[in-house]
Amino acid sequence: MTAANLLTLAQAAKALRARSLSARELTRACLDAIAKAGALNAFVTVTPERALADAERADARLAKGEARALEGIPLAIKDLFCTQGVKSTAASRILGEFVPPYESTVTEKLWAAGATLLGKANLDEFAMGSSNETSAFGPVVNPWRRQGDNRKLVPGGSSGGSAAAVAAGLCLGATGTDTGGSIRQPASLTGTVGIKPTYGRCSRYGIVAFASSLDQAGVFARDVADAAILLRETAGHDARDSTSAKLPVPDFAAAVEAGVKGLRIGIPKEYRVEGMPAEIEALWRQGMAWLKDAGAQAVDVSLPHTAMALPTYYIIAPAEASSNLARYDGVRYGLRVADDDLVTQYEKTRAAGFGKEVRRRVLIGTYVLSAGYYDAYYLKAQKVRALIARDFVDAFKACDLILAPTAPNAAFAMGEKADDPIGMYLNDVFTVPANLAGLPGLSVPAGLSAEALPLGLQLLGRPFDEATLFAAGREIERRAGLFPVSDRWWEAAP
């Protein structure tokens, strides 16, 4: 029998309802796996007492036949979501000891659906990064290894802890956030399913802000059906987030098997970027062949401003970050390095509290917002952003979905890109446009690289049409075959 922690969420929910598995047993299995997987550093905080108490309550409801959608399902929560009474650090020293007095809406919804909190997943500091190497609490290790090579690989970022935890079977699902690719890219690098819904689909209330006009919560799961269940339970309007959409949440789980017959799948020619590895290109073609096999039709589309997406993102995101991060001043909460002089106290606190990448972003952000450069950089970037969004509006007149690679590479070795910020930023080349346009994107495992590492394909959809993404993702998943939960690392790890 499959170990309980390696079940899919849907399988576990069924076993819990059939009472062939208890929430306590399931939670214990996850906690044991987490304890054994310390080398992955996937968690900033593990909450065993809370988890077991949650599980006990779940068992009581299951016994009474009052199970809710996620009753007894153990989850990892990216440590960017505020959890009441549980340390929430954003993987930064400046929030290292912060215990929020309130709960984020997304996590509140998960607990209201009966889910269990296993702990807070590691991430890049303030979600800034593509490799999870900028965390103040050390990097996360990808459970996968290259064939015949035992070097530790990155899980992608910034939601690397969430992705690694799902990939290694430490939890049945996880939350993430995606500002420029932070759910989809780590999903691709760890062989998991990740969805960034439409901007406004999930509430941002209680999520530590990075770039507010781009940030969106989403989920990781082992398969498409699980991702659909989790998104259904996290989405919805919230009066506490003025940008959250007043729209009903469809039953995404019911949409998973809807198929793609008659759908037009757009292949954007601008995504054939120079230097794209042949295996990524081949995977992309394979994905299209699979969707055709499922009854869809391929159409060529153009997104002419694609090349400007990365530079635009790396102006807008740092600009908003520099403004959002101004609140960490050592006065109200978080780290304080005291000094008699207030300005010196600000300086010392922020110098001690923020890591190198965060400081780089604050510097870039304040520069592009400063008088004299505002028009040349920030305003210009906003205009280009509008053009990028319009590209998609035009493309979606000719197609129903867009298919593209998720990332230009498989997982890379730790340290490999650490001194190459541009190379690191290039990891987001296929993911950033959807954030700038506010569109939903799903990454689904589609194949293995020559080195036997997972590679994902990305589906982009019309605003609020996550349902079609799930349906198409499922068709790819069905043909690619389910990825093994990667306990490979147990054998490979020294």
77 three-class SS: strand
C-alpha–C-alpha distance, residues 163 and 78, integer Å: 10
113 lies in the site for ligand GLN, by CB under 6 A: no
Which of 34, 128, 140, 429 contacts ligand GLN by CB under 6 A?
A: 128
Query: Counting contacts by CB under 6 A, is residue 266 touching ligand GLN?
Result: no
- Phi and psi angles of residue 35, each rounded to the nearest 5 degrees, phi first: -60, -35
Q: Which of 22, 78, 120, 196 is catalytic?
A: 78
Among 92, 158, 198, 244, binds ligand GLN (CB under 6 A): 158
**# of chain residues touching ligand GLN (CB under 6 A):** 14
Among candidate residues 158, 162, 188, 203, the one labeled active-site is: 158
- Choice between 209 and 294, CB closer to ligand GLN: 209
**In the block, residue with structure tokens 């509140």:** 108
Site for ligand GLN in 306-325 (CB under 6 A): 317
Give the residues across from 221 on adjacent strands: 193
Active site includes 158?
A: yes
Contact 291, 176 (CB under 8 A): no
Strand partners, 402: 266, 460
> Rounded to whole angstroms, how far apart are CA atoms 448 and 456?
9
262 touches 295 (CB < 8 A): yes
Q: Compute the least distance from the CB of residue 321 to ligand GLN, in Å.
A: 8
The only residue of 179, 188, 198, 234 in contact with ligand GLN, by rule CB under 6 A: 179
**Does residue 301 touch ligand GLN according to CB under 6 A?**
no
| 136: amino acid identity, one letter | A
Residue 486 interacts with ligand GLN (CB under 6 A)? no
By CB under 6 A, is residue 180 in contact with ligand GLN?
A: yes
Q: Which is nearer to ligand GLN, 265 or 358 (CB)?
A: 358
The one catalytic residue among 130, 182, 203, 322 = 182
Helices 48-63/9-17 angle, 10° precision: 50
Q: For residues 111 and 117, what is the distance between their CA atoms, to the nearest angstrom?
A: 8
- Give the nearer residue to ligand GLN in terms of CB position, either 260 or 319: 319
User: Is 182 considered catalytic here?
Assistant: yes
Give the list of residues 6+ apart from residue 5 with CB closer than 8 angstroms, or none: 26, 29, 30, 32, 33, 74, 169, 170, 171, 172
What are the beta bridge partners of residue 403?
A: 459
CB of 187 to ligand GLN, least distance (A): 12
Distances from the Cα of 486 to the Cα of 92, 163, 317, 453, 491, angstroms: 28, 11, 33, 10, 10
Which residue, 178 or 238, is less far from ligand GLN as judged by CB? 178
Per CB under 6 A, does 135 bind ligand GLN?
A: no
Nearest position to ligand GLN, beta carbon: 182
Question: What character string, x for contact with ligand GLN (CB under 6 A) and - otherwise, covers 207-226?
Answer: ---x----------------
Longest dimension (CA), the chain: 70
Least Å distance, CB 408 to ligand GLN, is 13
Residues in contact with ligand GLN by the rule CB under 6 A: 127-130, 157-158, 178-182, 210, 317, 428
The catalytic site residues sit at 78, 158, 182
